Amino acid sequence: MKNYFFLILSITVLFTNSCISQENPPLVETPDQSKFSIELIVDGIESPWGMDFISENDFLATEKKGVLYRVVNGIKNKISGLPKIYVRGQGGLLDVAIHPDFKSNGIIYFTAAINIEGDNGGNTALYLAKLEGYELKNVELLYKAIPNTKKGQHFGSRIVFDNDGHLFFSIGDRGNRDVNPQNLEKDGGKIYRLKLDGTIPEDNPFVNKNGAIDAIYSYGHRNPQGMIFHYKTGELWEHEHGPKGGDEINIIEKGKNYGWPVITYGINYSGTSITDKREMPGMEQPLYYWVPSIAPCGMAFSTSGVYKKWKGDLFVGSMKFNYLERLVVKKRKVIKREKILEDVGGKLRNIKEGPDGYLYVSVDGKGIFKLIKN
């Protein structure tokens, strides 16, 4: 009887793994790469994690090892005044974003892995600071996830703003999938919402819920490294890394549970099953998922029309396969995928639409490039 049980279990796992290893449509296409070219804007950044534009020729860029640059007319200068950054594995200096009213107040925000407790390990934090030239002043810690851990994975993190005075940022599950993502009393595996001054909005979904963290906006996430508001609908779009398979694009709604790790389209890196569940009541389905994984990082809509037939399309970087992916989305369904900038020679860390309407991509070991459609 015991042997029969293990035989059935083995067959179930094998069936689950064989099903999940299949590529989900539409399969990615590779157009003529001569139609595209890239212009190097700034080089010498080992891991250009985050960036945001002050103006067309003036932008901020982070290097994961703990350097913040201001790039003016292609010349990068280090910005002083950062707090001590905890650099480990995927952690370090992460995203950067300018305040919606930066021209008036000079305020920027950034996320980073830090340790301020003096113990071992670190976790993701959100800061506010005043940028004056090439110096940060009045640096203020707005949020710090706890507890610290020496694990080097799943720090998140992206920063975006809505039009109602809110800031959203993400933190991954910190490698503790069975504890953090589904527990509203613990940080990790969440998207958070604050007011621009760092205070908690009174209408956050878990305010006054016994034991829950007030800043949480949604939960059940693995490692979100792409967030953007849809330029027409105003919806918050997010993508996150799956395990082996199951990278997701989600439309984030207030108070919703996105399922990790109770439901997933991925499996363990070892090939074993995480769960046999793909859906559960009360848990959201992704708009799209990748099997096999592309390791998505960075996310942007092309809205300007400078790329004639790409207006409204979604662009996502692949860190696993070193290409930029174009997704055509109609009625919340991905109907076409293309490899753009195939094999750029490094992991694509981020993608932004600049004030000039062009897409800018950052590549590990290379720098930041402007995408030209020939």
Catalytic residue IDs: 154
Residue matched to tokens 């459609």: 373
CA-angle at 137, arms to 133 and 139, nearest 5° = 135
Q: E-assigned strands of 270-364?
A: 288-290, 296-301, 314-318, 323-330, 333-340, 348-353, 359-363
How far apart CA 217 and CA 170 sit, in angstroms, is: 10
Q: Is 298 left (phi over 0), alpha (psi -120 to 50) or beta?
A: left
Helix (H, G, I), strand (E, B) or coil at 10: helix
Please, which residues bridge with residue 60 across strands? 52, 70
How far apart CA 70 and CA 50 sit, in angstroms, is: 12
Q: E-assigned strands of 176-274?
A: 190-195, 216-219, 224-229, 236-240, 247-252
How far apart CA 298 and CA 343 sit, in angstroms, is: 16
CB 156, CB 122: distance < 8 Å: no
CB 16, CB 276: distance < 8 Å: yes
| Residue 310 DSSP symbol | G
